[in-house]
Amino acid sequence: MGTAEMDEHLKANRELWDELTAIHAASEYYDVDGFKAGRCTLWPVEIEEVGDVAGKSLLHLQCHFGMDTLSWARLGANVTGVDFSSKAIELARSLAAEVGIAAEFVCCNIYDLPEHLDGEFDIVFTSEGAMAWLPDLTRWAEVIAHFLRPGGVFYIFEFHPIAGVFDDSWEVAEPRLRYPYFHSDEPIVFEPSGSYADPDAGVHARSCEWSHSMADIVNGLIGAGLRIEFLHEFPFTTFHSHPFVARGADGLWRYEAGPDQLPLMFSIRAVKQ
């Protein structure tokens, strides 16, 4: 795939996330008012597995409009968030100012981040839905390594690649293969539809997404010089991703027919050598 074609795919995605920012900010799903009142938007597993962040510098890649970034700041981290949507970064900066949290936000594609941001960080963090928007995991891992200090920690909490292969049409009652597991340079293109945060929202921009296997993710990090401390897999997901998952009392969604049978999320913690 040529550079011009790739630029068009990324441009479409940027237009989509510019459009989604206002939709998400107004949605019950994101509960911005709850965050302003003090709600932490991080999941307990993220807080537990990242560990104590007090006094540490933290870089959040693909931060959307920054509520997770600012939640890390509330836990004591010195935070910097990055996203390619100018609308999202504008809202993140406004939200930080409104709640009185010190944070830096940078608007750029993460592949270009070394040209827009200096320094090294104790922690590089990413989570939930970031991978599908990345066409090249080798470059992604190289950016992570570039910004980690020696001994610094990378952490990701993300939807499992296996979960990404299943049909997400709402009339499908059982897991059924629909999407590829292995990566292709050509993206999967979705025409305008609603958002996971508001299925009825009028969205006009198309999306271009890429599949990545677990091997792609792990080997990308290893190839960039990071040492994997752990890979954990979880039988739950954080939102209503498919019609065959049901929500539990803990707010997490599991495969209803076999709650412990299907990996739906994973986490990786890695250290720069």
pLDDT of residue 83: 98
Range of the domain at 89: 3-37+52-272
Report yes or no on 135 lying in a domain. yes
Share of the chain above pLDDT 90, in %: 90
What are the pLDDT digits (tens) for 190-204? 987 889 988 888 888
Confidence of residue 205 (pLDDT cuts 50, 70, 90): confident
Report yes or no on 95 lying in a domain. yes
Looking at the DSSP assignment, which residues form a beta bridge with residue 154? 124, 270
Report yes or no on 45 lying in a domain. no
pLDDT of residue 176: 94
pLDDT of residue 2: 65
pLDDT of residue 200: 85
The model's pTM is 0.95
Is pLDDT larger for residue 173 or for residue 90?
Answer: 90
What are the pLDDT digits (tens) for 29-58? 999 999 999 999 999 999 999 999 999 999
Report yes or no on 132 lying in a domain. yes
- Residue pair 227/273 in contact (Cβ under 8 Å)? The answer is yes
Confidence of residue 247 (pLDDT cuts 50, 70, 90): very high
Report yes or no on 44 lying in a domain. no
- Average pLDDT, stretch 62-83? 98
Report yes or no on 43 lying in a domain. no
pLDDT of residue 204: 86
Cα 174 off chain centre by: 26
User: For residues 166 and 171, what is the distance between their CA atoms, to the nearest angstrom?
Assistant: 13
Average pLDDT over the chain, rounded to an integer = 95
- Residue pair 146/252 in contact (Cβ under 8 Å)? The answer is no
Domain count, the chain: 1
User: Is 127 a residue whose pLDDT tops 80?
Assistant: yes
Report yes or no on 215 lying in a domain. yes
Instruction: Give the CATH number for residue 91.
Output: 3.40.50.150
pLDDT of residue 201: 86
Report yes or no on 69 lying in a domain. yes
